[in-house]
Structure 1
């Protein structure tokens, strides 16, 4: 049995929409992108949405739109994909890491205050695996200390904090539509905001810094003339990506129900195991279950995590590790960061194994994954 770590959930609906888009002869940013932006904004209860070519682009532009640059500090979690921190460096600002909560694996909101300085301009909370951060505390802290909140929601399409969709809480929220995400367009991202001025800045900066009149220059009502008002970037979404996104958005509830079902099977199977810790969940929030990350006490096994992963690979099961903490990477070590300063992130990394969780799995495959993991752990106890 071959079970890849992740697969997209694509069928004839996406194929038909792509063919329609190709036949329209409008392949870059156009009507499909505008439609996807509008429908996605409605889905997350936001006023505005700006389609981009990645969540990374969104994080970068969101900070630039707020005027973040050299001399500023941006607080985030060390337990994230390195793109979160890289985009802070791209602005010239300094990443400041706050350790994670050992249970939720999200940024520890109780430790945030000690990282706030006069140079703090923003915080980027990351909704790890699809579980929302404690946004009430974060938003209150931002208001009282006069800094902004840019949510990294790469994992959090469908997530709700209490009853509010992620996408309408922070000053800006950045989503990913990478091929493994809950809503996939191959590559792609979106920034949502309720601030029209910020949305306008994002649009200008995402297409070379051309003024708003340039967006329609290839339509019947458009003009060849444009002006560059900012040294911008080529970060825009295309209609090909948006065509996929529009179909995926209509299927999101269906896809999510399968993720929920399989995550419940995993929770039930692993929750009472002595050497396995299951992901935290809360009835107060809605978890998107983008990832299912087991934490295994390898110190009590006679095999290492790498050996565990190889055993599962030999049994036809793909896995991954989320994440290598940012301070462990050589470049960040050169900047003076040390993983020893973030003991909860360090411990989580040493124990983490991400197992397959996606809609195109079958119950038979999920049960096989459960059986192989339990067998491997139980046969490897010291």
Structure 2
């Protein structure tokens, strides 16, 4: 049996492999340089060009790009009219932004349990959590796998709720053969460096609803308009009015130039992610110490991240011991995510441990393995070797 690096053995690789990384080439760099040499650095023509490119890719009528994914979720909640006294049902196993956006608008996040197979939001728990104060549902496409969109839409229609799909992980993913981005009332995508494509930081909302689109355009730029039909008066081309309280959530032409270049490569990025996930699935299929991720029949995941679960019946280490051992093997790993309501800030708001027991149980045993398009076959092989090395060492006797 090989000695683990954390116990003094030789690591499976000499150079550290991060769990996620952007893929930038000369075409991307030249696109940004071109903007740097032009007339606009911030809100110029590249913003609309990027919005149109994303809308076209997902077949949506409208898209509004902003400075990051969190701002996009805030913008969606604003467009949905979330206010004090409203409740919004939110996925529990997600990054804090999925719930923070509700708080920003004065609403109350209500956390729903996870599905034990896909780890996405549990449909039955959504139904249990609906009250007369419920205004919307924010469902996260965890790891890039779409939620059960049709069932959530049925619930939303029955109870007159707004469905916001948090697709931070799922640009390029498909639900029943249709790309994510049009089935919900509004869909958010993120362009953080580890996401399917990047603009450095950035986010976008796609929608087919003109009313939401108009509200979001206003919201991202201080609530200011130059539309004479919306203003009290029109004193000339220089004139504008603030007609609502918005934010400065504008994205730059520099970011959008990068995004325009990146989206041309998105399909190849997704294909590579699926290739890596399939190799992992095959390699780990008979490894009893871990549980590999499962896909629903309706899903064609974008595989933003690859999350394994430790089988506590077959392995004698804790998640922390496994995590630390992987790091010492020079394999970058992560954990996605702690249930949002367990964060100290949410505890101060009155949320308590135990309200989503399946999410909490899963959190204690999950680890995210490296998965990004620029990984080489040797990188993939090293990840697999490290997992087997650690599992073999901690195999339950």
Q: TM-score range by the shorter chain?
A: over 0.9
Question: Structure 2 residue aligned with 1:162, among 176, 190, 212?
Answer: 176
Q: How far apart are residue 321 of structure 1 and its match?
A: 0.1
Determine which of 40, 63, 70 is the counterpart of 1:56: 70
Question: C-alpha displacement at 1:299, in angstroms?
Answer: 6.0
Deviation at 1:254, TM superposition (A): 1.2
CA–CA distance in structure 1, aligned partners of residues 382 and 331 of structure 2: 9
- Match in the other structure for 1:223: 237
Local SS of the residue matching 1:379: helix
With normalisation by structure 1, the TM-score equals 0.96
* Residues 268-302 of structure 1, C-alpha deviations (whole Å, 9 max, x = no match): 01122212111112453210000100001246433
2:260 match: 246
The equivalent position to 2:125 in structure 1, one of 78, 96, 111, is 111
Output the aligned Cα RMSD. Answer: 1.4
Q: 2:47 & 2:336 partners in 1: Cα distance?
A: 31
Q: Which of 10, 21, 26 is the equivalent residue of 1:12?
A: 26
Other structure's SS at 2:165 match:
strand
Rounded to whole Å, the distance in 2 between the matches of 1:324 and 1:369 is 23
Q: Shift of the alpha carbon at 1:375?
A: 1.3
- 212 and 127 in structure 1: CA distance in 2 versus 1, 3 angstrom threshold: farther
CA drift of 1:304 comes to 2.1
Query: Is the CA contact 2:45–2:253 (under 8 Å) kept in the aligned structure 1?
Result: yes
Q: How does 1:7-46 map to 2 (within 5 A)?
A: 7-46=21-60
CA distance in 2 between partners of 1:47 and 1:77 (Å): 26
Paired residues in the alignment total: 375
SS at match of 1:223: coil
User: Where in structure 1 do 4 or more consecutive aligned residues deviate above 6 Å?
Assistant: none
Please state whether the residue corresponding to 1:125 is helix, strand or coil. strand
Q: Which residue of 157, 175, 200 maps to 2:214?
A: 200
- Quick check: 1:92 aligned with 2:106? yes
Does the alignment pair 1:306 with 2:306? no
Q: Which runs of 5+ in 1 are unaligned?
A: 215-221
In structure 2, how many angstroms separate the alpha carbons of the residues matched to 1:339 and 1:353? 21
Counterpart CA distance in 2 for 1:160 and 1:72 is: 31
Q: Take 2:219 and 2:386, find their aligned partners in 1: how far apart are those partners?
A: 49
Unaligned runs of 5+ in 2: 1-12, 229-235
User: Which is richer in helix?
Assistant: 1
Deviation per residue, 1:336-365 (Å, 9 max, x gap): 222312111011101110010001100111
